[in-house]
Chains A and B, each alone.
Chain A
């Protein structure tokens, strides 16, 4: 019976949300394949507790607990996973398509000689093949790709948030395996430290979620509600030109033909009319949501969803609901 292996990432307090999303996806794939065990691999220092927390969702949990793993390092994970995969020979390995996942998954697949499908938003197993849907060409098209589930197995990275997590299945409850971690894991790549970028120096061109604010905000003092909404959404704040003209936000936050070009996944436009010059800087086919009090604002013809209403009412409400939801 071959396994489906899930690589669980750790958040600050226990397993990351993505671990449960991968677990559910692994279960679904397992069901389509017939009898399969679903296993998780956990890395870190002092992660025994977290590993036990994962147990209800899995049949096996492989725990790599070692001081060397204190900081999640892609090359260290790759080295250990390569050993684990060689031993366990999973049919399918699922990895989160996070920055960290992007760092080690391709090298791991290359080393293990396994085909890899990245950034999947849907998975399906049939006819001995893995079918995946991925977003291509700047989000303008979706591609359905397939790869044989052969002897070498197969790997996929899944877009965080795209797969719903599911409650722990009945009857699972993993066997926990403490794994040995060899010394000198990554002799050729060493971690020198972690840096938090300066708060002012946010590069909105790299942001996945943007809360963009326009002249509808009226006063500099009102920007507070935008910043705290962005914080709740873990988004960055962008803006239209009038906001920069007034020097309420730095020029590096201006989206548009004469500002920067952004390519987020989600663009929330608040009090922005949606001029040609502004929208000229929004690329990559993001999901655009707009809040504007003018039902005829041009933004509504380019947005995916729109709310007509007063931003001063809606934004605090939205923030409140988002915070409630995130707990």
Chain B
């Protein structure tokens, strides 16, 4: 123990304001604990009123994720500079927490040591702690300078009305103060005893500065530093839950309470409600409508801006910035559930939807999930956005451009308002034998059921994906059928637009049609449909595949034999959000591509889980939000940067959007976009020709 071998007075042995130090210290602690407890209680009141959200299943998995994502800070390095700084400060924080406890203890008894931290272990810790404090102090300085002079663009949000930057400086200042105070506390002692050395770099540096001061002055400094440290520490604790640094307290719990449901699934309107339709109003129209965990998200947001930095809606200049959803909701929560005074009754608050969050923000999200993927503290957005949409839909407040496809889905089972009877026409009725997919009547069976979904069934460009797949299934000798006119839209978009009732209707129709046919496996070319069939409560017993998975299987088994493409161009793969990020399938499409001889493949910087949404995001097909750039065009630039001329994708929406972007950005003839299935057909044909 560094402080035990000095002659300076121990803090616990002094009187302060006429009180013995331990008593004074106790009063201080009690006061701080009361304030802290009071603030937390006030903050918790809102959570207690939130909607239910079961988050305590699969504890083992949760602990593992907590270790990896929470303590391991696994997502921080995605932003190298800020990430490394944060990891260092976070690690320092963990190490120094023991020191803080020790110092609190020293207020009661001189030479206090935590159990296990006496003797040699204590000396080692003292050295570790001192080095750590030095690093943390350095990090604080770097962070402050970076913020002031080299702030990354993402710190300033285009939509922010006020800046929370001051809080950041206060926090950095407080942390630095703690480091400096402790250094002075120890440095004064070292200066008195002459024990400086590289073992304790920061304290020694302080001692060096203080060298030559009389013992009395050192004693005063020593004591003041101690009290300043402990007072600052307690103030810091109470300041956290009133600032954006609440995350220091909530982020680890928030990570532990993460969403473990299948990727791409949308939460039910109300967890645990038997009859979802019974509620008076659906969706989230005021703060308390969010689940308690979603409210905890708001407390936890660190305002780092990474979500918006990754968000395609933000990148294209729409009204939406996911981070602002959290920030604005937190501000609203603090305003309506104040620390002092009564909760503001709902009638007197600004309207959550309308005043705080504009409808335009809510409709701008493509539900791509990029924000959630990057958030270091695992804040969820898609479920919240869908909940807000549910509210708007329930109020009848849906933009006219979206009412069209929704009404058509209800009436015709497809968003285009096309005749249901024509849904199977793309397959050529099966009689021509060209397509390899036949329309199954009720009671019939096939090994493989091809679920087309509306876009492939009706859009002439996208029908070609279906036909390409049909040809491949034919070539591989698969027995494949489709539902024809009995199929309706998977409901994926309807659900994400917040039209839960419509989704249920569509799902039930599909389940009925599927139930009347026998098949061993189901395949679809549309990741959205796949995700809906897998994750949105269809509850099918048969395995559900995406065509990339089936094609990978057929190629691996030698049932499809590709030939050399003979194409000099460079290819890249665009990961569709609902195949990759939401459903974790990154390998299958790449396996298909690498099975094609002679294909020159590169990866874009934003590939796999960091893929950039094409802007298809289902509802963008029908409603165009005000924006400055098109997501598809941005994506083309990324492909170009990677040196690719051909973009392969595995989703009809991506195909449509990227193909359109090629046209509108004048890249015709220079770039091409293809579905995986179309590419395999090309390669197969080359194979036949030679």
A and B touch in the complex (CB under 8 A): yes
User: Which residues of A are interface residues toward B (Cβ below 8 A)?
Assistant: 215, 241-242, 245, 251, 257-259, 261, 276, 280
- Quick check: is B14 within 8 A (CB to CB) of the other chain? no
Contact flag A245-B416 (CB < 8 Å), given A257-B622, A276-B459 = no
| Cβ proximity bits B644-671 to A, threshold 8 Å, 1 near / 0 not | 0000000000000000000110000000
Of chain A, the residue at the smallest CB distance from B416 is: A280
In the assembled complex, the CB of B46 is this many whole angstroms from the nearest CB of chain A, namely 39
Contact A258 B622 (CB under 8 A): yes
Beta-carbon contact of B664 and A242 below 8 Å = yes
Q: Does B401 interact with chain A (Cβ within 8 Å)?
A: yes
* Set of chain B residues within 8 Å of A242, measured between Cβ atoms: 663-664
Residues of chain B within 8 A (CB-CB) of A245 are: 630, 664
Q: Which residues of A contact B401 (CB under 8 A)?
A: 258-259
Selected from B460, B461, B624, B664, the residue in CB contact (under 8 A) with A258 is B624
Q: Contacts A245-B630, A276-B459, A276-B461 given: A257-B621 contact, CB under 8 Å?
A: yes
B224 at the binding interface (Cβ < 8 Å)? no
Instruction: Known contacts A242-B664, A276-B459; decide if A261 and B630 are in contact (CB<8 Å).
Output: no
Residue of A nearest to B665 (CB): A245
Give Cα distance in the complex from A241 to B460, angstroms: 19
Q: How far is the CA of A70 from the CA of B459 in the complex (A)?
A: 54
**Complex CA–CA separation, A241 to B621 (angstroms):** 12
B623 at the interface (CB under 8 A from A): yes
Question: B416 touching A258 by the CB < 8 A rule?
Answer: no
- Known A257-B622, A276-B459; 4 more pairs at CB < 8 Å: A242-B664, A258-B623, A276-B461, A280-B416
B404 interfacial contact with A, CB 8 Å = yes
Q: Can you spell out 24 A-B residue pairs with CB atoms less than 8 angstroms apart?
A: A215-B663, A241-B664, A242-B663, A242-B664, A245-B630, A245-B664, A251-B624, A257-B404, A257-B405, A257-B416, A257-B621, A257-B622, A258-B401, A258-B620, A258-B621, A258-B622, A258-B623, A258-B624, A259-B401, A261-B404, A276-B459, A276-B460, A276-B461, A280-B416
CA distance A285 to B612 in the complex (A): 39
Q: Give the chain B neighbours of A215 by CB distance below 8 A.
A: 663
Closest to B401 in A: A258
Chain A residues near B624 (CB, 8 Å)? Answer: 251, 258-259
Q: Mark B398-420, 1 if CB is under 8 A from A, else 0.
A: 00010011000000000010000
> Interface extent on B, as a size class?
10 to 19
B615-628 contact mask (Cβ, 8 Å, vs A): 1 or 0 = 00000111110000
> How far is it, in angstroms, between the C-alpha of A215 and the C-alpha of B461 when the chains are bound?
19
B495 shortest CB reach to chain A, Å: 20
Interface string of B443-485 (1 = CB under 8 A from A): 0000000000000000111000000000000000000000000
Residues of B89-107 contacting chain A, CB below 8 A? none
In the complex, the 9 A-B pairs of residues with the closest C-beta atoms, listed nearest first:
A258-B624, A242-B664, A276-B459, A258-B622, A276-B460, A245-B664, A257-B622, A280-B416, A258-B623
Which residue in chain A gives the minimum CB-CB distance to B630? A245
Which residues from chain B contact A280 at a C-beta distance below 8 Å?
416
Interface centre among A215, A242, A276 (most CB of B within 10 A): A276
**Nearest CB on B from A111, distance (A):** 37
> Bound complex: CA of A173 vs CA of B31, how far in Å?
108
In whole angstroms, how far apart are the Cα atoms of A276 and B621 in the complex? 12
Q: How far is B460's CA from A89's CA once the two chains are assembled, in angstroms?
A: 58
For the complex, give the distance between the alpha carbons of A10 and B416 in Å. 43
Bound Cα distance A234, B142 (Å): 68
Compute how far the CA of A257 lies from the CA of B616 in the bound complex, rounded to whole angstroms: 13
Which chain B residues in 575-627 approach chain A with CB under 8 Å? 620-624
B538 to chain A, nearest CB (A): 27
Bound-state Cα–Cα, A257 to B653, Å = 14
Give every chain A residue within 8 A of B405 (Cβ-Cβ): 257
Give complex CA distance A251, B622 in Å.
14
Q: CA of A282 to CA of B33 in the docked complex: distance in angstroms? A: 68
- The residue in chain A whose Cβ has the minimal distance to the Cβ of B459 is A276
Q: A residues within 8 A CB of B404?
A: 257, 261
With the chains together, A241 CA to B661 CA distance in Å? Answer: 11
Residues from chain B with a CB closer than 8 A to the CB of A276 are 459-461
In the complex, what's the smallest C-beta–C-beta distance from A243 to chain B, in angstroms? Answer: 10
Q: Which of A242, A258, A259 has the most CB of B within 10 A?
A: A258
Nearest CB of B to A280, in Å: 6
- Cα(A251)–Cα(B400), bound, Å: 14
- Chain A residues, Cβ within 8 Å of B623: 258
Chain A residues within 8 Å of B460, by CB: 276
**Shortest Cβ distance from A298 into chain B, in angstroms?**
8
**A251: chain B residues within 8 A (beta carbon):** 624
